Chains A and B, each alone.
Chain A
Amino acid sequence: MAERSFKKEVEQLRIGAGETFRGEGILAITKALLENGVGYVGGYQGAPISHLMDVLADAEELMAELGIRFEANASEAAAAAMLAASVHYPIRGAVTFKSTVGTNVASDALANLASGGVTGGALVIVGEDYGEGSSIMQERSHAFAMKSQIWLLDPRPNLPSITEAVRHGFELSEATNTPVMLQLRIRCCHVHGAFEAKDNVPPSLTVRDALANPRRDTNRIVLPPASFNHEKEKVEKRWPAALDYIRTHKLNEFFGPETGKVGIALQGGMYNGVIRALQRLGLADVHGDTDVPLYVMNVAYPIVEDEFLDFCTGKDAVLVVEEGQPNYIEQNLRAILHQAGRNQTVVGKDLLPKAGEYTGRIMFEGLGDFLRQHAQDLLPAAMRAPNEPKEIDPVPQLRDVVPARPPGFCTGCPERPIFAAMKLVENEMGPHQTSADIGCHLFSIMPPFEIGGTTMGYGLGPASNAAFDGGGDKRPISIIGDGGFWHNGLSSSIGNAVFNKADGVTIVVDNYYSAATGGQDILSSRANNPTKSTQHPIAKAVEAVGVEWVRQIDRTYDVGKVQETLKEALTTDYKGPKVIVASSECMLNRQRREKPLRAAAIKEGRRVERPKFGVDEDVCTGDHACMRLSGCPSLTLKMPDDPLRDDPIAHIDQSCVGCGNCGEVADAAVLCPSFYQADLVHNPGKWERRRADWRRRAIGWLQDRRASRRLTWEAGA
């Protein structure tokens, strides 16, 4: 079950022509797919398009009605490979994944797809995880489009534009026998807006129909001599066809006056940022009517040379607004002007920053600088003056005050005790070479744990320790999550460790979901999923590929056990890969699953225990050793109300879910006896209540007895 349910929202996907669709970008994309007769969809989750996968999963029923096949693919490579269905059959297909990491994984299939070409429209919707909020290396999908010759759409970030891009994407793909990449930036995926809906259209040929009438064409398969023909076909046929389609259907847009001394050429995705800067400079109105000519490249690749040359005609200078590096578009545009013997000045990353997101401030200052240099007279008087000195930090006094707040493990996360145990082993046996993987568990690299030195890719944690797997004085440790394990880790990390007789230790962090991407089900999920086959244990898979030393831990909160098991793995005489599968359910998902059940049970009068941890303030000495093995948001600090004390003491707030990590860590690390667990028992039985009453009375008698012989302090009235 995914973290966020779109069951309610997907009902809106049924609306037809004449109605207005309101919602998030990803929902609009889904609606557009249905309106354009898509025959199959798939993908692999990952921000910022995780929710697109969730929407598709929640819309499965509606899609089944239309005869559309939905597949939750094993990886981005698998998703891209699925587009093979559009190679010989005139069926439209769309897949989605996070980019550039997903595109990295998918590039083998994408290159093959692009070489042979497609018959049905093939759309790859990439969530460009770049800039603020990104969790990956900062690169561009643009390079993939260029190297494989896949057309790249980068539409203006509003719902009408991105839904139109879906339609044109399919048509362009079919007109040119080329797959099309539709790039959506983070904020565009989550932008809330509206567009005029059309009726949903079932695919003219369903994948079911296609199965009944199989087709093949050797010329479309990537093997010599066909592959050499593909390359020629790309430049001789498909490219001109694409330019033709883009021109004819006016995919790129022109705004503002037809003539002018200066102009701005920009990626479609940059449009709102550019307009806002022009609005602030006094050169555009609220609706985006601008005094500066704009050439908006909703198709970022290929570039339509004559369109650009026309745009430049009569201008002195053109600013290219292109986010990310290398500046492929700018280089291309400069080359076009040079080849055409034009003398227009192109301004790009010599003025705008070479790297990083183009934020509001950067646009405002960059466009301002460009216009001051090249079209001073266009600007209102107030904007003509040179820039005020740029104030980098308006509140320098806060520099050492505001703490960094990187993401971390949630309250009650079952991965926290695994790393607490690793930290304890580190304290005891010294540090080990440790490689990390992609997933929530990567938060281990941050304080307080600071475990793990590299992350090389999804499911590649153990593989990235391969150089160390030959053994030595100490064994290497690698971490992999259940998501990465099924993505490709089973073969590339575990299977190959067996094959190469690796002597390392691998910890598989199994939290029952692909948790970091939003809690999607995977093969080893424990839940009953009506449309998927789950409950395939990781330990069995590991054993099946030949790992002999496997330890399954079913409660990661048992810090002592995790610690002992890891120590055993690091010291055992057994030579060969050692795999510890540490399993406990993601607490976010568990709470979402259990909370309503618990509330219902309490209402029905059934007995329910609700645990929470607490700290005895007077016992806590404020040394914060427990914090250094936790980092839990609910385990925090407060200043005791006592003039004799200097340091804040531990305190557990109301958000505690009673996972047990605090107590387990205090025990395993022999920290202090401050922690206690309190279970609130709802609807206790009659006998239980009576027994508790007797106990309280006996205990109360002893307490009163001792209190009567000493001085006590009570707050007076």
Chain B
Amino acid sequence: MTVQDTGLVTRVPDARLNDIIKIAVLAVGGQGGGVLNGWIVSLAEANGYAAQATSVAGVAQRTGATIYYVEMMPEGARNPVFALAPAEGDVDILMAAELMEAGRAMQRGFVTPDRTTLIASSHRALATSEKIVPGSGISDPTAVLAAAREQAQDAIIFDLETMALNAGSVISASLFGALAGSGRLPFPVESFRDTIRASGRGVEASLRAFDAACAAAKEGYSDPQDVAPAKPQAEVHGPEKLVRRWSALVARAEALPVPVQDMAKAGLRKLTEYQDIPYAESYMDQLEAISAQDKDAGGTEHNFAFTETAAKYLANAMAYDDIIRVADIKTRKARVARIDQEMGATDDHLVQVTEYVHPGAAEFVSLMPAPLGRFTNNRPGLYRFIDRMVNRGRRIRTDRFGGFFMFYLMAGLRRWRRSLLRHQEEVAHIDDWLTTAKGRLSQDYALAVETLKIRRLIKGYSDTHARGLAKFDKVMSGTLLVEGRDDAADWTARLIAAALADPEGKALDGALETIRSFTTVGRA
């Protein structure tokens, strides 16, 4: 080749560069990204392509975000020079084995409208940071889906994980299927199948997952948009007398303002299952009274938000988490069937179930009749003695009769629940809370609604429950400081969000400090 050094030649990029197909795979360590990478190389080589694959090994493959990369082009007399890593704006096919990894790929610039086909699984593998938030820390998937539609030339996104699991396989197989179905690689689908067959392990299951995903990708399938699938209406069963009283309750719920009805019905069912029909009736009595007050306070304009919120949190508050409830849930027949199904048990299997429980003196005393419970609580020596007796972790086999019967008896205490110490404490707490909320209704409707929502902070058992109660008290006292201000409801909502941000309540203390800084006179 002679070299002209004039600098006047109009240069054009080598057209064959467009023959290079660049594929990046973003996965979570442990998902089998390496297997997929290997398949793509074998496929390319079997079809007369030169291929080069690289990966990043090391600790990233211990559940962290990880990346694989392949380049290929038709084999010729001379070897092409391929890159070892994907470059921003220069990826033809981006495969993401999890939705947020698709988001990460876009952040890194690997998905561009001019060239990239994005093949991603819509399922989520939650990151630790999303799981440890006391409230809800789960990232918004719709933001990623929307960005994908903007960023990718072509987006194939559906739940490849479930598809693989249903086929008894893993996501590498369904991703490979979606790649085949996308039509972006110039190889026949049968050649993809041959690659799987040649790999030799779990071939049948892999092919099932492959075929399902391949067909779905071809059809342009996407996940059903309706997040809540239409579930069959649950039907009530039981003694006729009770069913009649239930129907009457439903009729009362349907007489409430329309926006309240669904929540009220859910509450009724929860409390009937929790305790009994009379308990649900007492809930309805309160709700009707609240509804009337709401209407007087101009609830119509607010779509009866106060009553609806009350319907939700009053039901949760009345169905407080006690040992009786736990025992009741763990001894129901439907649970046995559910666990069998989860375990994939057939007639050839048995399923053993071990419960992990750790009751302490507090739980034990709360099951005492109120006077006896108070008596015990006032005698520290006795309380400590009880704690020594009962406070230890217990593993109880509820598939055996003895273990089951113990839970069954505990669940049977339901009949006396209303006379137990815990119930009286809960009722008092509910009264205080509702009275405060109702008292604010005429002054500041929005604040009254937010006051009801503070109830969300009470959850969990033992220490967690105690921390929840403490946060509840703090937020309630915080609202006292802002009561009367125009932005009182906003501040209350902010306090609730802060309380749910971390377990220790650091964010909440910070928010309260801020409030004090502008509400307390004399403090700069």
Contact = CB atoms under 8 A, between A and B. Distances in A.
A387 interface: no
Interface in B37-84: 41, 45, 51-67, 69, 73, 78-84
A670 B358 contact: yes
B125 A516 contact: no
Given A282-B12, A679-B352, A623 B81 contact: no
Interface stretch (B207-215, B285-293, B327-335): B327-335
B54 A192 contact: yes
A586 to B, nearest CB: 11
B356 A623 contact: no
B276 A710 contact: yes
B334 to A, nearest CB: 8
B524 interface: no
A645 B136 CA distance: 11
A703 B329 CA distance: 11
Given A187-B85, A633-B125, A695-B399, A616 B131 contact: no
Given A448-B128, A636-B126, A692-B350, A398 B57 contact: no
Interface string A379-402: 111000000000101110111011
Interface of A: 22, 47-48, 50-51, 129, 132-135, 157-158, 186-193, 257-260, 271-273, 275-276, 279-289, 291, 359-361, 363-364, 375, 377-381, 391, 393-395, 397-399, 401-411, 440, 443, 446-448, 516, 560, 609, 612, 614, 616, 618-619, 621-625, 627-628, 631, 633, 635-637, 641-648, 654, 662-664, 666-673, 675-684, 688-689, 692, 695-696, 698-700, 702-704, 706-717
Nearest to B315: A644
Contacts of B234: 713-716
Contacts, number: 436
Given A447-B132, A711-B273, A614 B461 contact: no
Given A272-B81, A641-B228, A703-B331, A401 B103 contact: yes
A637 B356 contact: no
Interface stretch (B87-95, B437-445, B512-520): B87-95
B247 to A, nearest CB: 11
Contact of A403 (B88, B130, B238, B400): B130
Contacts of A271: 81
Given A446-B128, A679-B352, A361 B62 contact: no
Contact of A380 (B10, B242, B336, B360): B10
A644 B316 contact: yes
B230 to A, nearest CB: 12
A359 B67 CA distance: 14
Contacts of B30: 410-411, 633
B13 A279 contact: yes
Of listed B63, B80, B81, residue having the most chain A CB within 10 A? B81
Given A391-B109, A644-B316, A688-B350, 13 more contacts: A51-B57, A272-B84, A273-B84, A276-B82, A361-B109, A402-B104, A405-B127, A619-B325, A622-B459, A644-B266, A647-B500, A672-B462, A712-B273
Nearest to B64: A407
Contacts of B19: 286
B29 interface: yes
A672 B460 contact: yes
Contacts of A187: 54-56, 69, 84-85
A286 B401 contact: no
B5 interface: yes
B81 A286 contact: yes
Contacts of A401: 100, 103, 139-140, 143-144
B129 interface: yes
Given A286-B81, A447-B132, A623 B333 contact: no
B222 interface: no
B351 A713 contact: no
Tell me which of A360, A631, A707 has the highest count of chain B C-beta atoms within 10 A of its own C-beta. Answer: A360
Contact of A703 (B54, B333, B353, B356): B333
B103 A398 contact: yes
Contacts of B3: 257-260
A623 B460 contact: yes
Nearest to A46: B58
14 contacts: A157-B84, A187-B55, A395-B107, A404-B129, A624-B131, A624-B134, A636-B131, A647-B456, A670-B462, A673-B357, A676-B398, A680-B345, A696-B336, A714-B334
A534 B393 CA distance: 37
Contact of A676 (B238, B356, B461): B356
B380 interface: no
Contact of A712 (B52, B103, B238, B267): B238
B85 A360 contact: yes
Contacts of B82: 272, 276
Interface in B416-454: none
Nearest to B29: A407
Contacts of B127: 403-405
Which of B84, B135, B343 neighbours the largest number of chain A CB atoms within 10 Å of its CB?
B84
A39 B130 CA distance: 53
Given A186-B57, A702-B408, A713-B273, A275 B140 contact: no
Given A612-B343, A621-B461, A703-B332, A641 B231 contact: yes
Contact of A191 (B54, B129, B330): B54
Interface centre among B10, B51, B129, B316 (most CB of A within 10 A): B129
B401 to A, nearest CB: 5
Contacts of A47: 57-59
Contacts of A22: 45
B227 to A, nearest CB: 9
Contacts of A411: 30
